[in-house]
C-alpha cells in the first residue's frame, strides 16, 4: 500500500481511509481509567473492537490488566505482539482449535470460557499432553441467552468439574450482558446491567459457598461499564468500543468521544442534490443504521451499495463540494466497520502521525 | 494460518471457512459461456465478487475477454497476477489514484470510466506525463442514477471531449443497470434491462452519429445477463455473482447453482432449541436477508451478533447436533460475505482441493 508522509493533512489522505483521532482515543482511555480509580474492577479491554496491538498497548500502559479476545486468531495476534494476559471470552471447540489454544498457552497466561463438560474434558486432555495449565472461566448466561450455563446448580457443577480437572485452573466466572448495552434509556440500561451482574456475582458466590475458588468475575460492555464496573464483586470489565466509540453508542449518551471516522472522496456529483462517495458497504457497515456525514449541514448518507454511497443534499446550492472533494463519515458501528479495513490512519491535530495495520482483522478462526 | 491437508473432508475443515464447490463454479462459468455462444457480447466478469486471481483465470480460460474491477486496488492485484485487459468500472479521482492508474497502464491495457470533464483533463494530463494512452469508457446513467452522464448531449459532449484528449483513447460507453438486477419477476426484470440497454446502446449510436468511435458497449449484471448479453449492440457484460451465486440471486430464479457456502462449528447448545455458531456478522453479511442453514430441516439462523449466530430449531428432538458439530450456511449476499474472509477453501466431491487467498479483499483504495 502507498502510504503518504507523516504530517500529511487528514484531508489530503487517499481514501477510503479509516481515521483515528489520537487525542480523542487517548482521552477515552484516560476517562475509563479515571472512572475505575478506587474501584475494585479493572478493565480488560475487548480486542474485537480495534484488533490492533498498538492500541492494546495504549490501553495496557494506561492500566488495563490484560486483553479480551473474541477469537483464537485474535489472541494469537496479541500474543505475537508480546501480550501475555489474554482472555478468550468464547468457547474453543474442536481438535484443531484446541491444539492451537494449548500452543498459545505455552507462551501466554491464557484464560478461556467454557459452558460444557465435554469441552472441559477435551481441554483438560489436551492441556495434559501439552504440559500446560490454562485458566478457565465458567460462562454464565446472565441475560443474553447466547452461550453460558444457568446460575445455580448448572454453574456450580460445571465450576466443580473444572476445579477437578487436573490440567486446568478454575479462575472464575464470566458473563456478557450484551442484551443490555444498547438500551437507550440510561436508567433502564443500568437496571438491566445490575440484574445481569446480580446473576453473575451470585453465581460466583454460589461457587464459593460450594468451596470452589473464584477470583475473577468478568463482564460488562461499553454501554454498561459504569454499572457493571462499580458493581460489588465484579473484578474486571470487557468493554471494547469505548476507545473509538461510534454513532450508536454516542446516541445513547456514553461519556466518551467519537475518535473513529471514515474519510471518503466524492467521485461524482451527477445531479446538484447528489454526491457519490468512493465507499460503500464493503468499507462501512450499516446494520446499526446509516452512518452520518460530518460537518456538511443538510448532507445525508441515504444509500450504500457495495462500493458507492449516495449522499443527498437538502440545500444543493449551499454545498460547493464536487468530484475530488472529501467528506468525513461517522460509523454507526465501529467494530464491524474497522473489520472491513486493513489500516488505521492515526491523526493528531488533523495531521497523519502513524499508520497501523489492523493486524487481527479477518482472524476469525 | 494453519491449513489442513489436501483431501480433507469438507466437514473436517476448521471454521469459519468460506467454501467453494469447484464443480459448481466451473459449471456456472461453462453455463455463461454456453449462453454467449454465437452472440455478439462476451463476458468481462466482475472481480468485486471473488477478488481472487485464480478464479479470474478460470473465467479467462473459459472465454472471458478480460476482467472488470470496482477498485483500483483490485485492478492492481489482477495486474500483478498477470492479467492485462482490465476495466475499472468506476471514476478514478484525485492525484494519488491517478498516478497509480497511470503506473498500472504501463503494464496493462487498462480501461477506466469517466463522467466528468475535469476528470478527463486530469487523466489526460497524467497520461501525457507517463507516456501512456489508457482507454476510456464514458459512463452513462442508464437507470441506476448513481454515477454517469445522461444520454443525449451530455454523453456526446463528454465522449467528444475524451476523443479530443490526445493521451486518452475513447473506447466506448458503459452503464450498469444495478436498479434492475434484483427485480423478482423475470419479465419485469427483462423489461427493465431492455430499457437500460436501449439507453446505453442509444448513447453509443448517438456518439457514432457524431463521428465518435465507439467500439465497446459494456453493461449487464448477473440478474440481467440474459437480456443485456443478447441485446443488439452490447459488446460485453460485467456480471460477477454468477460464478458463485448466493441466496438472493437464487431466490429470483437465476439458472446458475450456488457454489459458495460458509462452514461453521456449533460452539454451544445452551438449550435444546438453540445452537450457537462460531460466526457472526463479521464472517457473514446479512444486508440482503438472513443466510440459510442447509441440510438441517427446521433449522433457521435467526440472529447474528458480531461473532455468533443463533440457530433456532423447530423440532429440537429431531436434531442431534451439539457443540463441535458443523453446519453449512448459504450466504444471502456472496460479494460482501467473501469480502469478510481471507481464504477460499475450494472443495470437489466434498474434499479440499486447494486453498486460495482472497488476494484483493480489502483493496478498497
CA dist., res. B7 & res. B308, Å (int): 29
Residue pLDDT, tens place only, A2-22: 789 999 999 999 999 999 999
Reported in sequence order, the residue ranges of chain A that DSSP labels E, i.e. its strands, are 17-21, 42-43, 67-69, 85-91, 109-114, 135-139, 169-174, 216-219, 236-237, 260-271, 274-277, 292-293, 299-304, 309-313, 326-330, 343-348, 351-357
Asked whether the predicted pLDDT for residue B251 surpasses 90, the reply is: yes
Residue with cell 474486571: A236
Residue pLDDT, tens place only, A281-318: 999 999 999 999 999 999 999 999 999 999 999 999 99
Residue pLDDT, tens place only, A316-358: 999 999 999 999 999 999 999 999 999 999 999 999 999 999 9
Are the Cβ atoms of A323 and B118 closer than 8 angstroms? yes
DSSP label at A39?
S
The pLDDT of residue B281: 97
Q: Is A323 on the interface with B (CB under 8 A)?
A: yes
Domains of chain A (ranges, CATH numbers): 10-16+259-357 (2.40.37.20), 22-246 (3.20.20.10)
Are the Cβ atoms of B91 and A267 closer than 8 angstroms? yes
The pLDDT of residue B220: 93
Tell me which residues of chain A, numbers 270 to 299, contact chain B at a CB-CB cutoff of 8 Å. Answer: 270, 274, 276, 278-279, 281-283, 285-287
> Helix or strand or coil: residue B109?
strand
Residue with cell 463476458: B43
Asked whether the predicted pLDDT for residue B170 surpasses 80, the reply is: yes
Question: Does the interface ipTM go beyond 0.85?
Answer: yes
CA dist., res. B209 & res. B216, Å (int): 15
Are the Cβ atoms of B282 and A93 closer than 8 angstroms? no
Q: How close does chain B come to A345, measured CA to CA in Å?
A: 13
**What would the grid cell of residue A6 be?**
507523516
Asked whether the predicted pLDDT for residue A75 surpasses 90, the reply is: yes
pTM: 0.96
CA dist., res. B24 & res. A336, Å (int): 31
CA dist., res. A230 & res. A188, Å (int): 16
Reported in sequence order, the residue ranges of B283-340 that DSSP labels E, i.e. its strands, are 292-293, 299-304, 309-313, 326-330
Taking CA B306 as the corner, what is the angle to CA B300 and CA B312, rounded to the nearest 5 degrees? 15
Residue pLDDT, tens place only, A187-213: 999 999 999 999 999 999 999 999 999
Amino acid at each position: 500500500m502507498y502510504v503518504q508522509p507523516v504530517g500529511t493533512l487528514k484531508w489530503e489522505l487517499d481514501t477510503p481511509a479509516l481515521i483515528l483521532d489520537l487525542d480523542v482515543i487517548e482521552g477515552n482511555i484516560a476517562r475509563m481509567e479515571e472512572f475505575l480509580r478506587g474501584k475494585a474492577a479493572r478493565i480488560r479491554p475487548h480486542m474485537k473492537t480495534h484488533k490492533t496491538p498498538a492500541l492494546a498497548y495504549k490501553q495496557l500502559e494506561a492500566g488495563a490488566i490484560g486483553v479480551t479476545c473474541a477469537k483464537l486468531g485474535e489472541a494469537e495476534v496479541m500474543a505475537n505482539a508480546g501480550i501475555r494476559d489474554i482472555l478468550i471470552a468464547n468457547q474453543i471447540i474442536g481438535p484443531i482449535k484446541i491444539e492451537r489454544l494449548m500452543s498459545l498457552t505455552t507462551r501466554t497466561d491464557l484464560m478461556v470460557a467454557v459452558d460444557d463438560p465435554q469441552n472441559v474434558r477435551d481441554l483438560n486432555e489436551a492441556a495434559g499432553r501439552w504440559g500446560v495449565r490454562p485458566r478457565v472461566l465458567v460462562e454464565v448466561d446472565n441475560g443474553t441467552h447466547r452461550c453460558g450455563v444457568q446460575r445455580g446448580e448448572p454453574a456450580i457443577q460445571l465450576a466443580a468439574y473444572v476445579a477437578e480437572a487436573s490440567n486446568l485452573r478454575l479462575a472464575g466466572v464470566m458473563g456478557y450482558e450484551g442484551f443490555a448495552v444498547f438500551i437507550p434509556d440510561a436508567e433502564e440500561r443500568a437496571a438491566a446491567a445490575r440484574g445481569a451482574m446480580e446473576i453473575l456475582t451470585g453465581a460466583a458466590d454460589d461457587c464459593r459457598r460450594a468451596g470452589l475458588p473464584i477470583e475473577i468475575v468478568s463482564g460488562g460492555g461499553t454501554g454498561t461499564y459504569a454499572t457493571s464496573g462499580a458493581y460489588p464483586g465484579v473484578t474486571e470489565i470487557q468493554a471494547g468500543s469505548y476507545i473509538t466509540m461510534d454513532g450508536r453508542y454516542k446516541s445513547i449518551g456514553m461519556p466518551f468521544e467519537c475518535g473513529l471516522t471514515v474519510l471518503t472522496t466524492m467521485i461524482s456529483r451527477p445531479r446538484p442534490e447528489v454526491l457519490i462517495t468512493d465507499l460503500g458497504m464493503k468499507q462501512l457497515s450499516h446494520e446499526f443504521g446509516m452512518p452520518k456525514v460530518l460537518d456538511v449541514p443538510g448532507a445525508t448518507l441515504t444509500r450504500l451499495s457495495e462500493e458507492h454511497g449516495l449522499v443527498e443534499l437538502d440545500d444543493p446550492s449551499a454545498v460547493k463540494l464536487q468530484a475530488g472533494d472529501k467528506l468525513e463519515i461517522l460509523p454507526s458501528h465501529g467494530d464491524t466497520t474497522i473489520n472491513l479495513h486493513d489500516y488505521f490512519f492515526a491523526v493528531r491535530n488533523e495531521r497523519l502521525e502513524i499508520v497501523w495495520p489492523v493486524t487481527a482483522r479477518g482472524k476469525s478462526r
